[in-house]
Amino acid sequence: EVQLLESGGGLVQPGGSLRLSCAASGFAFSTYAMAWVRQAPGKGLEWVSGILGTDTTTYYADSVKGRFTISRDNSRSTLYLHMSSLRVEDTAVYYCIKTNNTGWFFGYWGQGALVTVSS
C-alpha cells in the first residue's frame, strides 16, 4: 500500500524558512517522479514543484522559483521541500504526491502539512 507521510509544517514568520519532509513507503520510491501541490485555505489547488526519480531534474512554479527547493533522498525514500523567504501568501496545506511515470498526474496524495506564514 502506498503511503506518503508529510511532516515539518508549522507557523513561521514572513521571511523565514521551513523544510517539509515526506516519508514514502509501499512502492519503489527511486523510480517515480514526485511532486508538491499546495492549497491555500478555502482555495483551489496549485502545483508547486516536481522532481524526477533518479536524475533529480526539478521543476518549479514561477510563484516559488528561487525561494523553494525540492530534493529527494532515495536511500531514505524521502522527499523534501525547503522553503525560504516565505510570504504570507505561501500559507497553505502542502501535499506530497507520487506521480505516475506515464505522465505528471497525481495518483497518490499524502494527508497534507499545514504551513502558516504570519507575524
Partner 1 sequence: EIVMTQSPATLSVSPGDGATLSCRASQSVRSRLAWYQQKPGQAPRLLISYTSTRATGIPARFSGSGSGTEFTLTISSLQSEDSAVYYCHQYNDWPLTFGGGTKVEI
Interface residues toward partner 1, by CB under 8 A: 35, 44-47, 50, 59, 61-62, 95, 100, 103-112
State the Cα–Cα distance between residues 56 and 33, nearest whole angstrom: 9
Least distance from C-beta 119 to partner 1, angstroms?
A: 27
Least distance from C-beta 89 to partner 1, angstroms?
A: 17
Q: In terms of CB distance, is 17 or 111 closer to partner 1? A: 111
Q: In terms of CB distance, is 61 or 116 closer to partner 1? A: 61
State the Cα–Cα distance between residues 33 and 79, nearest whole angstrom: 10
Contact assessment for residue 14 and residue 86, using Cβ atoms and an 8 Å cutoff: yes
Q: In terms of CB distance, is 28 or 45 closer to partner 1? A: 45
Q: Which three cell numbers stand for residue 61?
A: 512554479
Q: In terms of CB distance, is 2 or 15 closer to partner 1? A: 2
Residue type, 112: G
Least distance from C-beta 110 to partner 1, angstroms?
A: 7
Least distance from C-beta 86 to partner 1, angstroms?
A: 20
Strand partners, 22: 6, 79
Order of strands, sheet of 68-73, starting from the edge strand that comes earlier in the sequence: 3-7, 18-25, 78-83, 68-73
